[in-house]
Amino acid sequence: MPVPAPSPPQVVPTLTRSKLRHFRFSEWYPVFRRVSIRGTVFKFSPEEQVTFTKWFDEDGMRLPDGVLLEDLESHDDDADDDDDDDDDDVADDDSSSSSSSTPPVYSLPRLTSHIASTFTTFKPSGVFPKLNSVCPQDAQWILPFPLPMKCPSIEDLFMVLKASGLMNGVMEALNQTRTDGEEAVDGVIEDETEDQGQGELLEMVLKKWYDLDRSREFRMFIRDNTLLGICQRDTNFYEHLVDPDTQAKIHQSLLEFFDTTIRGKFAGGPDYVVDVYMTSNLSSAHIVDFSPYHPFHTSPLLFSYEQLHELYLSTLSSPSCTGSESSSLSRDSHPIDALSALSLSDLPASQTTPDDDDEEEQDVEVITSLPLLLMIPSRAHPMAARNAPAWPAYPVDVNCIGGGRDIEEFKKVWEEEVREAARN
């Protein structure tokens, strides 16, 4: 009886709930802490999650008990660790004094203490927040700085979480339960029946805020522990990134970084995406985040998952084209058939097929060996042309509330509203 041929690999590998958990910051950060952007994580207990959910679902901008503007100002003035006990006393006094008020009091002393300690540790940088793996970037408008997601105070942190529609999705998904084997709307397959009905516990990630050079941020796509592709994260055009020597250095450095630092060490399986931030001399990198190799969770940016799949198939038919040794191969020594699946309009000018007159100059390029490196080749590129914010600067309801005030006037009114809510 003939042996049936093996099924061809899927364009996107199956993502199970147990695999998805490994993409949590608390799972991968201890392993890669030495080469990662600094951060802390707070894991909610079931009771704390209930309290936080009630606070989040309440209308208005009331801050949790103990988080008052006056407290924050005193905390900024005196951030020594020796004053932690005094801060706890202040929080207890505030809690007892407000216990007789009509509005509900949401007390999260362990969370607020962790946040205050993190701000002290990262002072004066501020923090970059996430709930689970989601950043409240749609609420950037509420922060006092135009810098992306820089929270300078505890007050700003809680307000940006409360104002974010993306956080609504996180909170709604927390207690959803499904049967074993059922595929959720996010493409995740349930595979752990013993956990059904318990729901997920929330974690808050606070990373040290850095003013990053967006041109040094890159996304790496890994399938079956093979680095298939690299592209810039920010889809603006950067002239220096189309320089062939710069591209060769980025390619070599990130391949070495993957081989020596990441390959085989991520516990979530052989298929994943890594965002990295390169050093100023482009010789190494820092890990920013891990995310699933899945279109529901991670944008392929300059690639498509179909194109990445063609690259993956090329490794199965010609394994010798992968690995660190391939980075030194010339353009003609190792052609990859999968490149034919990529439209030339998707490739930078320096990566298109050279004219005969340029053949000698192009021999040093490494684009025909994996990983494939893609950059925005010009300002006219479609991705650069449509590179606009995913959310408006201010939500419609905020524009209505603003009543024609300029931003400074609105900020004063907003802060007064928060103060009033805290007092009540």
Q: How confident is the model at residue 410, as a pLDDT?
A: 54
Six token digits for residue 57? 């679902």
Residues 6+ apart with CB under 8 A from 253: 278, 282, 283, 284, 285
Report how far residue 199's alpha carbon sits from residue 203's, in angstroms, rounded to the nearest whole number: 13
Q: Sign of the C-alpha dihedral, residues 10, 15, 18, 19?
A: positive
Output the DSSP codes for 228-283: EEEEESS-S--GGGG-HHHHHHHHHHHHHHIIIIITTT-TT-S-EEEEEEE-TTSS
Bridge partners (DSSP) listed for residue 231: 219, 374
Six token digits for residue 341? 């699946």
Six token digits for residue 396? 């419609």
Q: Tell me which DSSP letter residue 226 carries.
A: E
Are 253 and 246 within 8 A, CB to CB? Answer: no
Name the strands in the sheet holding 285-291, side by side, starting at the edge strand that comes first in the sequence: 285-291, 272-278, 217-223, 226-232, 372-374
| Residue showing tokens 């970084």 | 257
Tens digits of pLDDT across the chain (424 residues) = 566 666 778 999 999 988 999 999 999 999 999 999 999 999 999 999 999 999 999 887 788 887 754 444 444 444 444 444 444 433 344 444 444 456 778 899 999 999 999 999 998 889 999 999 899 988 888 887 777 889 999 989 999 999 898 998 888 887 665 544 455 556 788 776 445 545 678 999 999 999 999 999 999 999 999 999 999 999 999 999 999 999 999 999 999 999 999 999 999 999 999 999 999 999 999 999 999 999 999 999 999 999 999 999 998 886 555 554 443 333 332 323 333 334 333 443 334 333 444 433 333 333 457 899 999 999 988 888 666 555 554 444 444 444 445 555 655 665 666 566 555 5
Report how far residue 384's alpha carbon sits from residue 222's, in angstroms, rounded to the nearest whole number: 24
222 three-class SS: strand
Residues 6+ apart with CB under 8 A from 162: 56, 61
Q: How confident is the model at residue 174, as a pLDDT?
A: 77
Q: How confident is the model at residue 141, as a pLDDT?
A: 84
Q: Among residues 74, 94, 92, 73, which one has the least CA distance to residue 83?
A: 74
Cis before residue 124, ω within 30 degrees of 0?
A: yes
Mark residue 149 as left, alpha or beta (left: phi above 0; alpha: psi -120 to 50; beta: remaining): left
Give start and end residues of each alpha helix (H) in 98-153. Answer: 109-122
Q: How confident is the model at residue 189, as a pLDDT?
A: 84
Are 72 and 154 within 8 A, CB to CB? Answer: yes
Q: How confident is the model at residue 118, as a pLDDT?
A: 96
Output the DSSP codes for 26-92: HHHHHHHGGGB--EEEEEPPHHHHHHHHHHHHSSS-PPPBT--HHHHHHHHH---GGGHHHHHHHHH
Q: How confident is the model at residue 274, as a pLDDT?
A: 98
Q: How confident is the model at residue 43, as a pLDDT?
A: 95
State which H helix or E strand residue 77 sits in: helix 69-77
